[in-house]
Chain A
Amino acid sequence: MSSLAIASEFIRSSDELRAVLEVTQIVNKSLDSSPQTSPETRDRCVLLVVSHKDDWDLTEEGCLFVCKHRWMRSTSTGVAGANAHPPRSDELDIQKVLPIYGEFAVAMSQTKREILELRSSIVNSAVTAPKSVLEQPRSVITLNITPAEGLAHDNGTPLTFAAEDVEGLKQLLSECKSLKEASELDGSEVVNLAQSTTHFNWIKPYFSKKTTIAALTSVPQDLRQVNQPLLDRLSPSCAGHMGDDHADVRVMRDDWIRVQAKEASRRGKQSLTIRLGTFNVNGKMPTQDLSSWVQGNVQNKVNDPSAEPKSASTPSLPPLAKVSPLVLTRNPFDWIIRRQSSKTKVHEVPVKEDPLARVDEEHPDDPDMLVFGFQELDLSTEALLYSTSNTREDAWCHAIFASLGEKATNYDKLASKQLVGMLIIVIVKRSLKPCFGDVKTSMTGAGILGVLGNKGGTAIRVSFTPPRPPSTLDWTSSNSVNQPGPTTLTFVNAHLAAFDEMVDKRNSDFHDLSRRLTFENSAYSNSSLKEHSEEKSDVVDHVATQTIGLNPPLNVYEGDAVFWMGDLNYRVDVQDHEMRRTLRNEEWETRDKFDALLCFDQLKKAIHSKKAFFGFQECQISHMPTYRFSPGLMMDKLGYDLKRKPAWTDRILYMHGSGCQITPGSYTGHPQITLSDHRPVSAYCTVQVDLYDLDEHRVNIVKRFNEVSHLDSESDKGGLKIEETLIDFGQIHYGKSVERRLVIRNIGKSPRAFRFVPVQLDSPIHPEWIQIHPMTGILLGEETTEILLQADVNDSNAQHLNSGDKDLDGTLILHTMLGKDHFVSLSAEYQRTCFANKLSWLTRLRGPIRSFKHAADLLPESHSRNAPKEIIRLVNWLMTNNATSEQIFMETGKEDVIDIIRECLDTGDEFPYSPQTSDTQTRLAFASTLLRLLNSLPEAVIPSHLHPRCLEMSNRDEAFEVLDELHPAAVNVWISVTAFLHFVSQSLKEEQVRRIASVLAPILLRDDITSAALPIPPNEKSKFLMYFME
């Protein structure tokens, strides 16, 4: 590429390139160094005259940019080719910017041969050249450039260059001249480029490249942002109302660069294992063996929660019920999970993949890191006032190493931090110790007056750099990692405000700690800025320093993962007696029981309502509450203090970015360690650390940055084009998603960013029956992408869709950032379904749902049917059918058969299966359809507010009384379904009947996840149902 072409690329579209000139900088100005004697390549420069016209007041400003070509990265540093110059890349680096105003001047002289003559011909005053000089085409001309602020500031030496291109020089001179004349600045004014907001503002974007790259390379992104969908981080925008597109584009761009650069640099992943523990020791000394907490069960603990030793003092919990719909491999109840997941976060199920290489192959089963957090280490008043002694820290540290047994010699303490009673200790494998670096600690009080350290937190931030892989012999291969990049892990140990009713204080303590636990950011000043100064671009450094500021402190989220543990003190919002009764209930499967209770856990609620700990994840809790145990008489049967409601106060949470997956292994309490009023909690997890080359990552950041650097320019060349703007999904049915792809092509050469926007600020971006992935994107020049559009009718939208027109339509608006809005028309023909409707609505249908047109077709309430025809049809078929009932409701029928049955219910067509069949598969399919239909009801047949009444009924007659409270349609459904169950039960053994009840009861008496009351135990639901079955 020619310098002109490169320069044109380099200049932003809002600016104009007025002249380009290739020159050689004359650094040493001693007379004997003539510019002709083969100038050093590194002194070659390109001078650009760039101007910018202000959009607003139409004034024009110009600058002379002194640039250098960037050289291709030498691939063979220090080896061969020391003489050969590395190839020139198509990029320019700004060395200096000289604004054209004030005393700015370009003076020139001819340097060829006649040195004496040259001197006499220097024109000092202006940017005009004596004709005689310019008319000698082959001569070398020396340029002396005086900056606008005059020579006094620059040690009296103008910048000196030698040029040969006379035509280019002429143009440069004349453009400089006219720009200087156009300048509105008075010559005595001196503009500080880095600070001025009124003049030469437009040159900042040229530097922001440096500052952006520096930030992208060395400041980790805040995890809270990383985990937030990009769309949520953009400004509000809708049709005809652009948001702050300029700012949004930068957010999208930076995100894109980070992700792409990381992906491009990643050479693999390794797994680092961490054992974490938290323990409120209540001021006690370590007088007990801690090995179960410190070590757990060493054998095969990875991904195996059951590997933790079951403690003797744990109340014996019933084994996982054999028939739990949730553990069937072909799960007929996946919608149950879906329903629940809308309230509680789905637990991360570890995906079975090929095991990653361990960072430590020698002892892969031992955790690489041990991190322990203690609270109430020292309760003495002296400790609170002068926390000087660390005898207790030493004692606990000693106890930890003692508990490691023979393994102790493999570990070393890396760091610790104590604030009064709060102590965090990081211990690492000795063999890996060199991999850990950049250790930072932080602490802050959150107690009385926010300073006294009785509550608060201590934190440690470490970076882990994987050991250089042994395959470095083959260091030329593209897979080699010469200098592995670090993964930063932060560990917080906190003790938050106590007492049930102090939940708001705990939440605010959390936010306080999030803000105030910060670490000094040395990495930034050491590495990236140093690198800049090597480039000797003083203006750039100046601006960069001004813009970012040195050493912005890092918060606990600015890393690759953060673990937050401690006595967080959150309680459970259920009545004391209910809590204890539920914990004692041995017939309630532990996991379900804990899940039910945890719906009322203040921490879970705070996360869900985004009040605190939003974005943190926690392993499934399958251990008993860890607080509060009292050794005295005032305790309940489980050992909990009668004066304190049991709670899961001690927790271990984590948050990670996309590149640093955390797979939880175990999470458990240790009831056998009884020295405190709390029980310690431990977690074991695997962190996937990226194996990437640090240099390569930097190069990739720059490369990606350059690809999208023009994203924020308002260029109207090309743009995005959508291949097909009418998208028809055809018929869409309940439970079957239909996918279409929207092809977007960037027909221009410059990159483009896009996002979907709603019609109005407060309206949804897409109709309820559709999903879009992704909602934002960046397309490079001539790139094409596909957006997945998924039409999906499910329990959450079917009821609403049923009441509307069957012809669905909608318009998506795809907004090109800083450009055009594209419309995409959607259409679909909705096939109504009897699923997911209220019973009281189904009974008002005149015929099958497919023949329903609009609300006027409904029967008046007074004339509604006794029960929905669809349910009665299923029950009748099942009643008439004689096939064996052994597996009924226990196994799912075939999906295709279920589909056909459901379609017949919706259309009113005859079932293509005769009830006379003895095929058990068909029978199973009918039973499954019935179950699913019942489960899809927006409200359970027996709504949750009646469940407590069911609990009170102790015989069949009493049970019937509950039915008085139901809607007539619900009564009839209940009666007919239970009549069938009764009929089936007669041919089955008692054990089988129980199992059927345990499957149907949770559906017929489904919990309302929005209910404020604790659900009744499942065994009670079954008991109630059994009154009708026997």
Chain B
Amino acid sequence: MSKQFQFKLVLLGESAVGKSSLVLRFVKDQFDDYRESTIGAAFLTQTVTLDDQTTVKFEIWDTAGQERYKSLAPMYYRNANCAVVVYDITQSASLEKARTWIRELQRQADPSIVIALCGNKLDLAARRQVSQEEAKKYAEEEGLMWTETSAKTGEGVTEIFTEIAKKLPLTAPSAARAGARTGGPATRTGVDLNRQSGSAPGQPDACNC
């Protein structure tokens, strides 16, 4: 019987680096040239298959990068199991911003959080301002995952989420086809939510098969 794990993932990073675009590519395999800046936080889910037996369901919170909403970000990264901090390889300032986010996560978020640093807009490598070496070195120092992506071409997008899924502690199987399950899909999601808020990160579900 296959097992499914569920994790909360949050995207952080300066405005316009392409957070929403990355999510759109990952969830729907689409890209928009003209996207409106996020004002709020979009909630989406997507499932990654690791092997025949294991799938990981991400509950994704795509946050707003605009400075004015910075104070609300903690609400979305609390209880997160993983974070993707995005910068734009054509804007060196955006890496600075990413560093700030990472420092904040290291201080404020759950200590077991898995953080990935992601340099987006790889298709614009001609206008690159942030070198791979610089970013990679920083990521290594901080013990972060690192990769470059293009939401536009799709390059590296699925990979980064899959890599994160692999890094997450898949220790306990989820409530697959739990005998005690009641009600329709509605109740089931209710159960998810309880667990999401109630249990410690990294310990998705107790097996009640």
Contacts and interface: CB of A to CB of B under 8 A. Distances in A.
B190 interface: yes
Interface stretch (B67-75, B82-90, B142-150): B67-75
B137 interface: no
Contacts of B78: 240
B75 A238 contact: yes
Contacts of B2: 57-58
Interface in A230-247: 238-247
B75 A760 contact: yes
A813 interface: yes
A201 B181 contact: yes
Interface stretch (A116-124, A362-370, A817-825, A914-922): A817-825
B177 A59 contact: yes
A55 B176 contact: no
A141 to B, nearest CB: 35
Contact of A247 (B43, B47, B186): B186
Nearest to A820: B42
A742 to B, nearest CB: 13
A811 interface: yes
B189 to A, nearest CB: 5
Given A54-B177, A811-B69, A823-B39, A201 B75 contact: no
Nearest to B61: A240
A740 interface: no
A57 B41 contact: no
A197 interface: yes
Given A240-B41, A822-B39, A811 B72 contact: yes
Contacts of B186: 205, 246-247, 250, 712
Contacts of B181: 197-198, 201
B177 A821 contact: no
A71 interface: no
B55 interface: yes
Interface string A52-65: 00111111000000
Tell me which of B40, B44, B55, B178 has the highest count of chain A C-beta atoms within 10 A of its own C-beta: B40
Interface in B152-203: 174-190, 193, 197
B57 interface: yes
A238 B41 CA distance: 12
Interface centre among B77, B186, B187 (most CB of A within 10 A): B186
Interface residues of A, number: 41
A205 B177 contact: no
A544 to B, nearest CB: 15
Contact of B57 (A55, A241, A242, A811): A55
B177 A759 contact: no
Contacts of B4: 55-58
A242 B193 CA distance: 8
Nearest to B63: A240
B41 A14 contact: no
B2 to A, nearest CB: 6
A474 interface: no
Interface residues of B, number: 43
Contacts of B1: 57
A725 interface: yes
A725 B71 CA distance: 17
B101 interface: no
Contacts of A239: 41, 72, 75-76
B41 A821 contact: yes
A204 B183 CA distance: 8
A980 interface: no
Contacts of B177: 54, 56-57, 59, 198
Contact of B76 (A56, A197, A240, A246): A240
Interface in A707-726: 712, 714, 716, 722, 725
A722 B77 CA distance: 24
A1028 interface: no
A275 B78 CA distance: 59
Contact of A759 (B40, B72, B174): B72
A823 B76 contact: no
A58 B176 CA distance: 9
Interface in A923-972: none
A252 to B, nearest CB: 13
B122 interface: no
B22 interface: no
B175 to A, nearest CB: 7
B135 interface: no
Contact of A201 (B64, B77, B176, B183): B183
B176 A821 contact: no
A870 to B, nearest CB: 36
Contacts of A759: 72, 75
A616 interface: no
Nearest to B209: A57
Nearest to B27: A716
Given A240-B78, A241-B75, A246-B190, A56 B174 contact: yes
Contacts of B190: 244, 246-247
Given A197-B180, A813-B40, A821-B40, A55 B76 contact: no
Contacts of A246: 185-187, 189-190
A202 interface: yes
B40 A58 contact: no
Contacts of B184: 201-202, 204-205, 208
A244 B189 CA distance: 8
A554 to B, nearest CB: 25
Interface in B21-78: 39-45, 47, 55, 57, 61, 64, 68-69, 71-72, 75-78
A708 to B, nearest CB: 15
Given A57-B2, A58-B4, A238-B75, A198 B179 contact: yes
Contacts of B189: 245-246
A825 B42 CA distance: 17
Nearest to B180: A197
Contacts of B71: 811
A716 B185 contact: no
Contacts of A244: 190, 193
B55 A820 contact: no
A57 B43 contact: no
Most buried by B among A54, A59, A197, A245: A197
Which 6 residue pairs are nearest across A and B when measured between Cβ atoms?
A246-B186, A239-B75, A240-B76, A822-B40, A57-B176, A240-B75
21 contacts: A55-B57, A59-B177, A197-B181, A198-B179, A201-B181, A201-B183, A205-B184, A205-B186, A240-B79, A241-B75, A241-B79, A242-B43, A242-B193, A712-B186, A759-B75, A811-B72, A820-B43, A821-B43, A822-B40, A823-B41, A825-B68
Given A240-B78, A247-B190, 20 more contacts: A56-B174, A57-B176, A57-B177, A58-B55, A197-B180, A197-B183, A201-B188, A202-B184, A205-B185, A205-B186, A239-B72, A239-B75, A240-B76, A241-B75, A241-B197, A246-B185, A811-B72, A813-B72, A814-B40, A823-B39
Interface of A: 14, 54-59, 197-198, 201-202, 204-205, 208, 238-247, 250, 712, 714, 716, 722, 725, 759-760, 811, 813-814, 819-823, 825
